Amino acid sequence: MAMKWVFSHRLAGDSLANITVDLCLYGELACYGGKIAPHGFAALQVSLLEKSTVRDLLAHLGIPADERGITFINGRLSAMPGLQSDLGYILKSSDRVAFFDLKSMWPFQYRHGAMMTDDMAQALRAVEGGGLHHIYGEQY
């Protein structure tokens, strides 16, 4: 059963219009959704003000950006360990966001053919080797 958690915030100079974002938190990040669901994820609907970004969403959930692993926005890869190109992404109503913890790795064979946001594609082009590795960080 999915949890529903709604919050609002005000950014300086923004209008009061709200958007609603569908959010899934996987693995250890599920605890930021209020409580851990028995299936290891939390599904939330989050109300935000227009012009809110992924950075704003992370801040209000209390998730340090470097604790998330792979991220998808509307089914497109938008961030991965060491490449957080989506922090400035402006969320829109009905966007679907999925944050995976650092232990939730995505099968390597799918990474090269993944659809990704324009910012993520640009970030990968700027990194030696395309930013894709079998292992991310020393803890693995």
Residue 17 C-alpha from the chain's centroid: 22
The whole-model pTM stands at 0.72
Q: 49-72 pLDDT, tens per residue?
A: 999 999 999 998 999 998 998 899
Residue 86 pLDDT: 95
Give the pLDDT score at 13: 46
Cα gap 108→85, rounded to integer Å: 20
d(CA 49, CA 91): 9
What stretch of H or E contains 76? strand 76-79
Q: Is the separation of the CB atoms in 40 and 27 below 8 Å?
A: yes
* 20 vs 6, residue with greater confidence: 20
Q: Domain 18-131 carries which CATH code?
A: 3.10.20.30
Q: Position 53: which residue type? A: T
108 φ/ψ angles, rounded to the nearest 5 degrees: -55, -40
**Given a cut of 60, is residue 103 above it in pLDDT?**
yes
